[in-house]
Amino acid sequence: MAALRESKKILRNKIRSNLRALDTEVVAEQSKAVARALCGSEQYRRCASIGIFLSMPQGEIQTSSIIRQALADEKRVYVPRVGINFEKCDMEMLRIDHLLSSADEIDTSWPRNKWKIPEPPVLEGEEQLAYGDGAVSVIDLLVMPGVAFDKLGNRLGQGKGYYDR
């Protein structure tokens, strides 16, 4: 198990280095391609709610256009918040479509966590978690970040296990 953990760490570092070296225009074009493919998919068209990550400043596709499209399509949109207790590595998926007057608010007004990722602000009594009674998720489609994916869709995450939990 320790050898596998070390192998993943080495692979993550190598891929992150390659991702950081990508030109911002390349990332923007790839982000658009992912958005077109996702928003044109049958899974997206059928879903009433979507959970989606908010992008790191670099090294990931940018998800803001997907979030804007989901809001325009009147889908319930959920995003992660991890900044409450970093020691526990807990993550909550919070509904945001009712909090925003526009998707641009995410980029300009939300606080940033220690990785510089925007997160929904803590609002007393207005939060809607992605879990109903009995901890059943209300998210129909979940878009997860990853450092890398193989041809079978297996994911190498950032290493903290947020999405695994």
Buried b (16+ CB within 10 A) or exposed e, 5-22: eeeeeeebeeeeeeeeee
Annotated ligand binding at 116? The verdict is: no
54 known member of a binding site = yes
Give me 162's structure tokens: 């947020």
Question: At the top level of CATH, which class does the domain 2-156 belong to?
Answer: alpha beta
**Rounded Cα gap, residues 110 and 125, in angstroms:** 18
156 is in an annotated binding site: yes
Residue 57 contacts residue 128 (beta carbons within 8 Å): no
Spatial distance between the Cα atoms of 140 and 93, rounded to a whole number of angstroms: 13
- pLDDT per residue rounded down to tens, the chain (165 residues): 788 788 888 888 898 888 888 888 999 999 999 999 999 999 999 999 999 988 888 778 889 889 989 999 999 999 988 766 656 667 788 888 766 655 566 666 788 888 788 888 776 665 677 765 555 678 899 998 887 888 888 776 665 555 555
